[in-house]
């Protein structure tokens, strides 16, 4: 078994640090507690009010809501699964960065991982990750409040990289 050399990790660790800095500098207002006014999130707040109130009053997840379309299953609007480990992993992948900074970090890190797994030099992978993360459409969906779509896009590149690594029989980069 090969031992992990620290010198090989330095470029990747510095890339992660650079990505954190880029994300936090670009979204520096979130460090002051400011938030993007996302239209879809505002609408969600109104749609889920009855569910949130029920959750607060009875300490349970409601299964039905009457506030939309003369009634519908509540899980289609807002649901919290207490044992959902994926939500914790998602926050970990975003290094617990606040709001959109975490999403952009996910774009940067995920695409960097894909490019490195394709054998691209780490310097070009950093440039490619920045180009990918700062595509205009990604910021449009973040501003609109399409957070689930933004996260799904953020996971596309690392999932592709993982498939490539599995098919190549690699366990580490």
For the chain, what is the HEC assignment?
CCCCCHHHHHHHHHHHHHHHHHHHHHCHHHHHCCCCCCHHHHHHHHHCHHHHHHHHHHCCCCCEECCCCCCEEHHHCCCCCCCCHHHHHHHHHCCCCCHHHHHHHHHHHHHHHHHHHCCCCHHHHHHHHHHHHCCHHHHHHHHHCCHHHHHHHHHHHHHHHHHHHHHHCCCCC
Mean pLDDT of the chain: 90
pLDDT at residue 50 greater than cutoff 70: yes
Question: Which pLDDT score is estimated for 173?
Answer: 61
Q: Which tens digit of pLDDT belongs to each residue from 132-148?
A: 999 989 999 999 999 99
Q: What integer is the mean pLDDT of 100-110?
A: 95
Question: Which pLDDT score is estimated for 20?
Answer: 96
Q: What integer is the mean pLDDT of 49-60?
A: 91
* Model confidence, pTM: 0.84
């Amino acid at each position: 078994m090969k031992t992990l050399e620290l010198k090989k990790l330095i470029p990747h660790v510095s890339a992660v640090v650079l990505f954190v800095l880029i994300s936090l500098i670009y979204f520096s207002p979130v460090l002051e507690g400011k938030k993007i006014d996302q239209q879809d999130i505002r609408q969600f707040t109104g749609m889920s009010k009855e569910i949130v109130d029920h959750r607060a009053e009875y300490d349970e997840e409601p299964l039905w809501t009457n506030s939309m379309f003369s009634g519908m299953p509540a899980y289609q609007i807002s649901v919290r699964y207490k044992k959902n480990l994926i939500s914790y992993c998602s926050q970990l992948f975003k290094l617990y960065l606040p709001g959109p900074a975490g999403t952009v970090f996910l774009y940067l890190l995920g695409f960097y991982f894909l490019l490195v797994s394709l054998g691209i030099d780490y310097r070009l992978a950093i440039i490619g990750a920045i180009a990918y993360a700062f595509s205009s459409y990604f910021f449009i969906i973040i501003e609109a409040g399409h957070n689930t779509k933004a996260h799904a896009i953020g996971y596309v590149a690392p999932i592709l990289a993982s498939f490539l690594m599995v098919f190549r029989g690699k366990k580490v980069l």
